[in-house]
Chains A and B, each alone.
Chain A
Amino acid sequence: MSLLSACATSGYKSASGTDIDAKVYTDAQRRVVDEKIPEPLRADFTALYSEGQQNSVLHSMHGGLTALRMGEYGIAKRLFDGAIRDVEALQAGSAQARRAAGNFVGDREKWFKGESYERSALYFYRGLLYLQDHDYGNAAACFKRSELEDITGDDAPGFSGDWYSDELGLALASWFNGYPADADAALRRAAKYQSIQGQVPPPTARTNTLLVVEVGIGPIKYAAGRYREQLRFHEDTPATVSVRAEPPGASSLSAAAENLYFQATTRGTRQVDYILNGKANFKEGTGVAAAALALGAVAVADSQRGRRHNDTAGLASGALALAAIGAAITSSLTTPEADTRAWNNLPHSIFLLNLTLPASTVSVTVSGLDAGGRVTQSIAVPLNNGKPLRIGYVYLNN
């Protein structure tokens, strides 16, 4: 018994629901302190260091966005780059992926790489950080790759690669990189997307300030269906439907450039949905078989009640009972539950305000507006001195 408990658990569970070894967890906590990770990021880094590859992308995505909002851009880049490396590596986690496709291993045990909208968001945010560094080539590459990650099933053909915000980012990067034709092409593509949320003033060759306004809570994953085999999303709709920036001498009003709930729910049927559906059918089939075998065993036993020394019938009844137990165990071990691990600090909507401001402007007031035009929140956003493009970030919780 003492040996079986040799792997003392920390009391913490990974995002996949597995126990984390106490020593591994303590070492991770120590490493976070040694590396002087800022307090608000310590939970992400502890999870990152203690849960291994299974959830490294998940915690890197979450921590990266937290770091970006804190202004810890170096940490944000490091985390996003790590997540991109793991998402891009096609063979990474292939053994775990094969296991997860089996009937007896849960989908949440595969190495997390996110759903399409999460992978697109990963590249989108990395693109913003490249823009901020005035590395317009890599910024454009990230916005293009973000569109490529937005794949859909055959039943949702009009929704692949339709991130409006990516095209705006690409246009901006292309202006600054000296490729106006690419900027025009990006804006022309964007104008045709079904993901458009309303009027969004596009960037121009004169844009020198980008405000990134995140609003609300992103898509909330949950599992539905008889065996929780279906991935579904809940929308927590924020009050803010438009955003206004009021720099001195100018103002700009914009609808959201991206609605992540829309992106999450226009994915269509995934390949993994067929796998999970197959598992659910298997679970149901083995469950039905177990019930039928159990009934058979009872029927045989009943038919022999009152008779003496009928070994054949007794054996048949026993065999049926054993088969029923086996089928029931098989059914109970089958795990068709959908993976609901989620990048859960993504916003509901992303607004991109492209402004042309005098170099002397040090801050901009950003106000969220509800459907009736009433102000929901108002925040002053400081601007850095970056030339030729300044970027400000703000998060509105509603």
Chain B
Amino acid sequence: MKKQLLFLGLGGVLLASCAQDDSVRYVDPGQPGRVAGTGIESQDLAAAAQKAAQSIVNLPAIANAVRPPVILITPVTNRSASPVDATLYTTKLRGALMQYSPDKARFLARDASWNTNQQEQGLRQAGAVADGGTAASGRQGATYDYILTAELQGISTATGKGQSDYFLIAFKLVNYQDLLIWENQYEIKKEGREAGVYR
């Protein structure tokens, strides 16, 4: 009987070894991942956006404004040697700013609504849909008081001995008269080396 159990046990192990590893785990997106490279990653993005948001909401022009200013966040300009998801970056930055300044600033979200609103306006004007709800009958999009820009620059090197990436993320808050209200920079430097069998 013991032999049979042992036999079955071995079979179980063998069968289990055939199955694919489907294990999934939740990880903190703000922490370095296990499969990190030297490029820009989610935690870099999150950290820079967080710091920028904290700094911006403390600006006198924002914190002391009588009327909450409207800010347009432009897509990140990438001049580095690391492709980035510009949309994700913009969304993260806007989310962080909203978190820190729900009542101190308002944000234009043309990326999210412009096309749909324009289409709806066309339908209203054509009489295809009725005015109603809480929306005004005519559409006039809001303009902004400030533009928030982000530019990613970098210096990258790679040799057979390893690779290195330095990134500078520069945020600028510019008003409607092209005056620079605020600028802040965040630096990231990473070095890494691939295993010898890949070099």
Using CB atoms and an 8 Å cutoff, list the residues of chain A in contact with chain B: 3-4, 6-7, 21, 23-24, 52, 84-85, 88-94, 97-98, 100-101, 107, 110, 113, 126, 130, 135, 137-138, 140-142, 144-145, 148-149, 151-154, 160, 179, 270-272, 274-275
Of the listed stretches B35-43, B97-105, B119-127, chain A binds B35-43
A103 to chain B, nearest CB (A): 13
With A90-B36, A140-B78 given, is the CB distance from A7 to B18 under 8 Å?
Answer: yes
- Establish whether residues A100 and B193, one from each chain, have CB atoms under 8 Å apart when the complex forms: no
**A145 partner, pick from B17, B77, B86, B156, beta carbons under 8 A:** B156
For this complex, 15 residue pairs linking A to B, each with C-beta atoms less than 8 Å apart, are A7-B18, A88-B38, A90-B36, A90-B193, A91-B34, A98-B195, A110-B198, A135-B86, A138-B86, A141-B80, A141-B84, A148-B156, A151-B158, A270-B160, A274-B196
Contact with A along B52-94 (1 / 0, CB 8 A): 0000000000000000000000001111111110100000000
- Establish whether residues A130 and B83, one from each chain, have CB atoms under 8 Å apart when the complex forms: yes
Q: Which residues of A contact B196 (CB under 8 A)?
A: 97, 101, 271-272, 274-275
Residue in chain A with minimal CB distance to B40: A141
Of the listed stretches B8-16, B106-114, B137-145, B177-185, chain A binds B8-16
Residue in chain A with minimal CB distance to B160: A151
Range for the number of chain B residues in contact with chain A:
35 or more
Question: Would you call B194 an interface residue if the criterion is a C-beta within 8 Å of the partner chain's C-beta atoms?
Answer: yes
Q: Which residues of A contact B7 (CB under 8 A)?
A: 3
A197 to B130, CA, bound (A): 65
B84 to chain A, nearest CB (A): 7
Instruction: List residues 159-199 of chain B with CB under 8 A from any CB of chain A.
Output: 159-160, 163, 192-199
A278 to chain B, nearest CB (A): 11
Using CB atoms and an 8 Å cutoff, list the residues of chain B in contact with chain A: 7, 10-11, 14-15, 17-18, 20, 34-39, 76-84, 86, 156-160, 163, 192-199
A373 to chain B, nearest CB (A): 39
B24 to chain A, nearest CB (A): 15
With A6-B14, A90-B38, A97-B197 given, is the CB distance from A126 to B83 under 8 Å?
Answer: yes
Q: Which residues of B contact A130 (CB under 8 A)?
A: 83
Q: What does DSSP make chain A's interface, helix, strand, loop or mixed?
A: helix
A11 to chain B, nearest CB (A): 15
B85 to chain A, nearest CB (A): 9
A151 to B199, CA, bound (A): 8
Q: Which 6 A-B pairs have the closest CB atoms?
A: A137-B78, A88-B37, A97-B195, A144-B81, A89-B35, A271-B199
**A7 partner, pick from B17, B34, B86, B160, beta carbons under 8 A:** B17
Q: Which residues of B contact A140 (CB under 8 A)?
A: 78-79
Q: Which residues of A contact B82 (CB under 8 A)?
A: 141, 145
A91 to B35, CA, bound (A): 5
- Establish whether residues B86 and A137, one from each chain, have CB atoms under 8 Å apart when the complex forms: yes
Q: Which residues of B contact A91 (CB under 8 A)?
A: 34-36
Residue with the greatest number of chain A CB neighbours at <10 A, chosen from B35, B80, B197: B197
- Establish whether residues A3 and B10, one from each chain, have CB atoms under 8 Å apart when the complex forms: yes
- Establish whether residues B84 and A23, one from each chain, have CB atoms under 8 Å apart when the complex forms: no
- Establish whether residues B81 and A141, one from each chain, have CB atoms under 8 Å apart when the complex forms: yes
Q: Which residues of A contact B78 (CB under 8 A)?
A: 137-138, 140-141
- Establish whether residues B18 and A97, one from each chain, have CB atoms under 8 Å apart when the complex forms: no
Residue with the greatest number of chain B CB neighbours at <10 A, chosen from A24, A107, A141, A275: A141
A151 to B164, CA, bound (A): 13
Residue with the greatest number of chain B CB neighbours at <10 A, chosen from A7, A90, A100, A140: A90
- Establish whether residues B86 and A89, one from each chain, have CB atoms under 8 Å apart when the complex forms: no
Q: Which residues of A contact B84 (CB under 8 A)?
A: 138, 141
Residue in chain B with minimal CB distance to A7: B18
Residue with the greatest number of chain B CB neighbours at <10 A, chosen from A113, A271, A274: A271
A152 to B84, CA, bound (A): 26
Residue in chain A with minimal CB distance to B35: A89
Q: Which residues of B contact A179 (CB under 8 A)?
A: 79
B197 to chain A, nearest CB (A): 5
A67 to chain B, nearest CB (A): 18
- Establish whether residues A89 and B37, one from each chain, have CB atoms under 8 Å apart when the complex forms: yes
A188 to B16, CA, bound (A): 58
